[in-house]
Amino acid sequence: MRLPAVDGDDGVWGDVLNQFLQKEHYNTGLDDPLNGGHKTVTIRPGTTAALTAPLKFLTGPLMTTPESGAVEFLTDRLYFTQTTSTTRKVVAAYDDTSGATGDIYYRDLNGYLVRLAAGSTAQFLSIVSGLPSWQNNTTITRSINTISTATTAPAVVSTDYVYFVSGTTTLTLPTAVANTNRYSVTNTGISTITVATTSAQTINGSTTATLPIQNMSLDFISNGSNWVVE
């Protein structure tokens, strides 16, 4: 861009100016919303000095009515409004000053991304109190029991229980809530074995299950609140 030359740009200065403007701006030739709009935007690189960021948003109130394509910044959040349903979305971001390879991020109660450091070898990702958490793998032990009288099964963590049951009797399962054990029951006699629940919990929708046939076996696992036969 240059200033016009005295007595040298008569009749062409307007053309020169238009050519300059049209490098980055639309010229529709009409008085419409597109006229003068940017074709592309090239932003200079920043430097290490303060106040030289290539693009900087000042925090301000969000528009009362979201507008498609709008980018807004308020306090700690950057927003972008999509066209479908004209919905304002929060742009997810994480703290780049910390973290390491393998870390994962999840949404916290306030809608921010929170870093969860990568777990150790053999750990598994679980949910604790509604939040993701790395847990240590534990060895599953097996408890083998032979019973002929009414029994209530315990709920020691990481234990699979095997019951060989004879006689007309009842085995009562512990609570299914947060129970990750497996309970295997085999009828070793000729009488009917009943498997019952606690706290009005169900087994496939019923409060009891029966094993009326000798050598019949059923496995019981929890779905988090009730029992199901696997």
φ, ψ dihedrals at 59, nearest 5°: -65, 140
Band of pLDDT at residue 11, cut at 50, 70 and 90: low
Averaged over 97-122, what is the pLDDT? 88
**Percent of the chain whose predicted confidence (pLDDT) is above 90:** 61
Buried b / exposed e over 57-89, threshold 16 CB at 10 Å, is: eeeeeeeeebeeeeebeeeeeebebeeeeeebe
* pLDDT score recorded for residue 140: 82
pLDDT of residue 122 exceeding 80: no
pLDDT at residue number 58: 93
Whether this prediction's pTM lies above 0.85 is answered by: no
The predicted pLDDT at position 14 comes to: 72
The amino acid that residue 36 corresponds to is: G
4 pLDDT higher than 70:
no
Predicted pLDDT of residue 209: 97
Identify the bridge partners of residue 104 per DSSP, sorted by sequence position. 116
Average pLDDT, the chain: 89
Residues present in the chain in total:
230
Query: Is 55 or 97 the better-scoring residue by pLDDT?
Result: 55
Taking a C-beta distance cutoff of 8 angstroms, is the pair 161, 182 a contact?
yes
Domains in the chain: boundaries: 141-229
User: Which of 11-15, 33-37, 193-197, 212-216 comes out lowest in average pLDDT?
Assistant: 11-15
pLDDT of 210 reads 97
Residue 216's pLDDT band (cuts 50, 70, 90): very high
Q: Which of 201, 159, 200 is closest to 182 using CA atoms?
A: 159
CA dihedral 182, 183, 184, 186 (to 10 degrees): 180
Quick one: CA torsion of 175, 179, 181, 182, rounded to 10 degrees?
50
What DSSP designation does 15 have? H
